A and B are shown apart, each in its own frame.
Chain A
Amino acid sequence: MILSGNPPRGKLLTALLILVVVVLALAPFLFPGSKPANVAAKICVFALLVASYDLLLGYAGIVSFAHTMFFGIGAYGIAITLYALGPSWGAMALGLGAAVVVAAVFALAIGLFSLRVQTIFFAMVTLAVASAFAVLASQLSWLTGGEDGRTFRVPEVLRPGFRLIENGPFGITISGRTLSYYLVFCSVVVLFLVMLRIVESPFGRVLQAIRENPFRAEALGYRIIYHRTLANVLAAVFAACAGALNALWLRYTGPDTSLSFNIMIDILLIVVIGGMGTLYGAIIGAALFVLAENYLQTLMGAAFGALNASGAGFVANFFNPDRWLLWLGILFIFSVYFFPTGIVGKLRAEPKS
C-alpha cells in the first residue's frame, strides 16, 4: 500500500532497489567520512529531482529544460531566508514555503503560456527562460550573492559540531551532519512515495493517456492543457523541494550547484538511462550516475595515465577523466534508441520473456 499498488516488478529490480534504499538508509554508519556522506546525500537529492522530472518527461511526455530553474528556486529560497534572517527553523519554513509558491507560479505561467503548442516549442521556451533566469540569479548579487553564491548557517541541530550521541552503544556518534542526512533522506522518501501515489492516481492515468494519444484523451473529455499544466506545476514544486534539501545539505547555494545547465544535462542523462516513465528509474539512475561521477572518474584517470604513458597521447585524451560526459552522452544516445525504458524497463521485461 505504501507503494500505491505500483511495486517495482521483477525480482532483480526489486532486489536492486532494496539494496540501494537500505544502503542509503544506513549510509552514515556503513561508510563514515565526508565524501561518502556527500555522495549518499547527492544520490538522495538527485533521485527526488529526477523523479520529479520523470513526472514531466516520462508520464506527461513534456520535455522541459527549465527544471534546474525550479531546483534553483528551491535552493535560493532556503539560502536567501537563512542568510537574511539567521539560522532558525522558522526562516527555513518561510524559505521553503516561498520557494514552493514562486516555483508553482512560474510553472503555471510558463505552462499556460506555452503548453498549448507542440512539445518542441515548450522545450525551446523553457530553455530560453531557464537561461535568462540563470543570468539574472548570477547578476542580482545583492539578493543572490552573484557568482559567489550564498554560504549560510543552518539551525544548531544540523551543524557538524552538534552531537546528539557521542560514543554511544557500538561506538556510534550521531552528529548534526548525520541528522542533516536523515532529514534529506526521510524527506526524499516521503516525497517520492507521494509522487508514486500521484502517478497511480486517476490524474496520473490521464497524464499517461495524454502522452500516448492526446487527441483521444481530449475526445474522452479530459482537458489537455489543464492536466499538462498541473503536471508542470507539480514537477516544479517537487524540484523546488529537492533544491531546498540540496541547499540545506551543502549549506551553500550558488549558480554552479543549483542553476547550471550541466545539472539539466545530468537530469536528462539519469532519467533516460534509469528509465523514463517508471519513477523507480530515478533511484537506480541517480545511484549509478552519482557513483559513476565520483568513482568512475578515478578509473578513467587510471586508464588515462596508462594510455599517456604508453605514448598514445591523442587517444588518451578521450579517456581523460574530464571527458566522462562523452561516454555518458554516447550511452545516452544508445539508451534512447535501443532501450527507451532504460535500466528499469530492461529489468522488468526480462522475467516475462
Chain B
Amino acid sequence: MSAIDTGAALPQQKTDYIPVLLPIALALLAFPLVGSFSTWTTLTLAGLAMGMMIFAMASGLTLVFGLMDVMNFGHGAFVAVGAYVAVVAFAPMGALMQSPSLAANLMALIPAMLLAMIVTGVAGYVFERLLVRPVYGQHLKQILITMGGLIVIEQLLYATFGPQLNPLPLPAALRGSIPLGAAAIEKYRLLAVVVGLIVFLALQFTLTRTKLGLLIRAGVENGEMVEALGYRIRRLFIGVFMAGSALAGLGGLMWALYREQAHASIGGEMMVTTFIVIIIGGLGSVGGCFIGSILLALLANYAGFLAPKVALISNIALMVAVLLWRPRGLYPVTSR
C-alpha cells in the first residue's frame, strides 16, 4: 500500500463530472413539469429506489465484462435465483416477518439477503467453471452459451418451484409509507435506497481503496501485465464473477420483494434493463453503471407519470440519446 500512498505526486486524472450532473439536472427539469412538490418527491424517491435495485443487479455484469471481457447473458438467471431464495428463506421465518417491530423484520431480511448472496455466489462459481471458462475470448460462443445457461436455469427453477407466481409479502414494518409533509414515502423504497448505497459505497471502497480493487482495476486495463507481475488473474476472475453473481442475487431478492412476487421470468425481464444501464454507463464502468441506473429509473418514473405511453420506450430513448452524445457510454473504459 505504501507505494500507492506516496502516489499523491503522480499526475491525477481529471474527474469527469458532467455525467454526475445528469440525474440532478433531470430531477430539476422534471420538477416544473410534474408541478406538485409532494408528487415530485414521491416520484424521485421511487426512481432512486428503483435505480439502486437495478444498480445492484447490473453492477456485477459490468464488472465481469470489464475484467474478463465476458458478457454474461445468463446474468438474469442469478436475479431469478435470488428471488426464489427469498421465497424459500422467508417461509420458515413467518413470525419474524409478521412482527411489527423493524428489528425483528431485519432479523429475517438480513440473513435472507446473505443467503441469497451465498447461493447465487456459489451458483456463479459453478456457472463460470462449467460454462464460461471453456469459451474465454470467443464472444460469439460466450453469448450463445450463457444464453443457453439462462434457459436451463430458468427451466430448472420452473421445474423445482412450479410455473406459478410465488407471492412474497413485505415484512410488516416495511409496508406502507411515511408521510413527509404532503409527500408519502414508501418505507421499503427507503430501505432499497439504503441497501443500494451500501452496495455502491462498498464497491467503490473495494475498487479504489484496497489492493484487491487495485488488481481488479489493473486487470481491466491490462490483464496480461497483471499476470506478468505474478498475480493469478484466474482467481481474480472467478472471485469477481462470484461477487457479480452474488450482487445479482441480492438485487433479485430486493426486486422480488419490491414487486411482492417471485417468478423465474424476472431474470429475462431484468436482463434488458441491466443491459441498457451498462451500455449507458460505458461497458465495464461501475460508476457509469450507477449513474446510468439512477438516470434510467428516474426517467422511467417521471415519464410514467407525465406520459405513460412514452414511458414504454423511455429506456431505449435514453440509451440512444446517451450513445449519440458519447458513443461508448458515459464513462468509456479505455482498454475496450
- What residues make up the interface of A, taking CB atoms closer than 8 Å to B? 57, 61, 63, 113, 118-121, 123-125, 127-129, 131-132, 135-136, 139, 261, 265, 268, 272, 317-318, 320, 322-323, 325-326, 328-330, 332-333, 336-337, 340
Cβ contacts under 8 Å, B199 to chain A: none
Are A336 and B148 in touch, CB under 8 angstroms?
Answer: yes
Cβ contacts under 8 Å, A323 to chain B: 155, 158-159
- Answer yes or no: B305 CB below 8 A from chain A CBs: no
Given contacts A325-B155, A326-B155, A329-B148, 4 further A-B contacts (CB under 8 A): A132-B312, A317-B159, A326-B151, A332-B148
Cβ contacts under 8 Å, B135 to chain A: 336
Cβ of B163 to closest chain A Cβ, rounded Å: 7
Give the one of A113, A120, A328, A330 with max B CB within 10 A.
A120
Chain A residue at smallest Cβ distance from B161: A317
Interface residues of B in 99-155 (CB under 8 A from A): 131, 134-135, 139-145, 147-149, 151-152, 155
Cβ contacts under 8 Å, A330 to chain B: 148, 152
Are B159 and A340 in touch, CB under 8 angstroms?
Answer: no
- Among the stretches B216-224, B246-254, B268-276, the one at the interface with A is B268-276
CB contact between A123 and one of B71, B162, B336 (< 8 Å): that residue = B71
Q: Could you show 22 A-B contacts with beta carbons less than 8 Å apart?
A: A63-B143, A113-B323, A120-B142, A121-B279, A123-B143, A125-B319, A132-B315, A136-B312, A265-B147, A272-B144, A317-B159, A325-B155, A326-B151, A326-B159, A330-B148, A332-B144, A332-B148, A333-B145, A333-B152, A336-B144, A336-B148, A337-B134
- Answer yes or no: B309 CB below 8 A from chain A CBs: yes
Cβ contacts under 8 Å, B336 to chain A: 118
Cβ of A125 to closest chain B Cβ, rounded Å: 7
- Answer yes or no: B160 CB below 8 A from chain A CBs: yes
Chain B contact residues: over half helix, strand or loop, or mixed? helix
CB contact between A131 and one of B152, B272, B279 (< 8 Å): that residue = B272
**CA–CA, A127 and B143, complex, Å:** 12
Are A322 and B158 in touch, CB under 8 angstroms?
Answer: yes
- Answer yes or no: B191 CB below 8 A from chain A CBs: no
Cβ contacts under 8 Å, A57 to chain B: 140
Cβ contacts under 8 Å, A325 to chain B: 151, 155
Are A265 and B151 in touch, CB under 8 angstroms?
Answer: yes
Interface residues of B in 285-331 (CB under 8 A from A): 309, 312-313, 315-316, 319-320, 323
- Answer yes or no: B26 CB below 8 A from chain A CBs: no
Chain B residue at smallest Cβ distance from A316: B159
Given contacts A125-B279, A131-B272, is CB(A318)–CB(B141) below 8 Å?
no
Given contacts A124-B275, A329-B148, A333-B148, is CB(A129)–CB(B316) below 8 Å?
yes
Are A135 and B279 in touch, CB under 8 angstroms?
Answer: no
Chain A residue at smallest Cβ distance from B158: A323
CB contact between A322 and one of B139, B163, B271, B320 (< 8 Å): that residue = B163
**CA–CA, A123 and B158, complex, Å:** 26
Are A261 and B155 in touch, CB under 8 angstroms?
Answer: no
Are B313 and A135 in touch, CB under 8 angstroms?
Answer: yes
Cβ contacts under 8 Å, A136 to chain B: 312-313
Cβ contacts under 8 Å, B271 to chain A: 127
Are A119 and B316 in touch, CB under 8 angstroms?
Answer: no
Cβ contacts under 8 Å, B309 to chain A: 139
- Answer yes or no: B45 CB below 8 A from chain A CBs: no
**CA–CA, A179 and B279, complex, Å:** 48
Cβ contacts under 8 Å, A118 to chain B: 139, 336
Are B141 and A340 in touch, CB under 8 angstroms?
Answer: yes
Are A317 and B131 in touch, CB under 8 angstroms?
Answer: no
Cβ of A345 to closest chain B Cβ, rounded Å: 15
Are B140 and A61 in touch, CB under 8 angstroms?
Answer: yes
**CA–CA, A122 and B69, complex, Å:** 15
Cβ of B271 to closest chain A Cβ, rounded Å: 8
Cβ contacts under 8 Å, A128 to chain B: 272, 275-276, 279, 315-316, 319
